[in-house]
């Protein structure tokens, strides 16, 4: 990689890392260390092919999705510590909602979390989610449906005046 390409890569990483880190954090269920590993792995794969990458952000996001899917396929068991009791309210409705949502997402399986993040946070069409995860559109639909139901079951506190990923809860 020549100096100009290296500078371009560094500028991309500097500019887009915060947004990419938020995505990695969601994909890993709120595990900061796993999110950092996921982003670093994706960036390492990107730098190796930097000259041929036409859309860097899309390439990194795709690498993160695929790496996360690969990691959860290898794991037979996911150990998640039960989060402590509900945090004290800080007076803002949005903060409580984010905390509740983060905890609820952490209690889903990696596959369920990946489908919800790709489908509703990233707002990708079902066909694209299916392509990224290597499954059928029907699997994406049924997994999204079951995952939303599981979120409602695991976190009834999200039902109140909240919505789950844009769907009004009853």
**Range 83-98 average pLDDT:** 60
Model confidence pLDDT, tens digit, residues 64-79 = 998 988 876 665 555 5
Model confidence pLDDT, tens digit, residues 113-138 = 999 989 988 889 999 999 988 899 99
Rounded Cα gap, residues 67 and 61, in angstroms: 10
Structure tokens at 154: 């695991």
pTM: 0.53
Has domain 1-77 been given CATH number 2.60.40?
A: no
Phi-psi bin for 105: left (phi > 0), alpha (psi -120 to 50), beta? Answer: alpha
User: Above 70 in pLDDT, residue 44?
Assistant: yes
Model confidence pLDDT, tens digit, residues 3-18 = 999 999 999 999 999 9
Rounded Cα gap, residues 115 and 132, in angstroms: 10
Q: List the chain domain ranges.
A: 1-77, 81-170
- What is the DSSP track for 80-134? -PPPPSPPPP-S-HHHHHHHHHHHHHHTS-HHHHHHHIIIIIS---HHHHHHHHT
pLDDT of residue 153: 86
Under CATH, what is the fold of the domain 81-170? Arc Repressor Mutant, subunit A (1.10.10)
């Amino acid at each position: 990689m020549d100096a100009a390409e290296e500078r371009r890569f560094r500028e991309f990483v500097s500019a887009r890392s915060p947004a990419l880190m938020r995505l990695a954090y969601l994909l890993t269920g709120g595990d900061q260390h796993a999110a950092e590993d996921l982003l670093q792995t994706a960036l390492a794969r990107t730098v190796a092919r930097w000259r041929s990458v036409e859309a860097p952000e899309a390439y990194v996001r795709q690498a993160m999705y695929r790496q996360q899917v690969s990691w959860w396929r290898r794991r037979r068991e996911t150990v998640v510590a039960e989060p402590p009791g509900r945090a004290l309210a800080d007076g803002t409705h949005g903060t409580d909602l984010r905390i509740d949502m983060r905890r609820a997402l952490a209690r889903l399986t990696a596959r369920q979390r990946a489908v919800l993040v790709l489908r509703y946070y990233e707002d990708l069409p079902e066909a694209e989610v299916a392509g990224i995860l290597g499954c059928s559109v029907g699997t994406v639909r049924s997994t999204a449906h079951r995952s939303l139901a599981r979120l409602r079951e695991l976190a009834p506190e999200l039902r109140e005046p909240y919505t789950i990923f844009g769907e009004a809860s009853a």
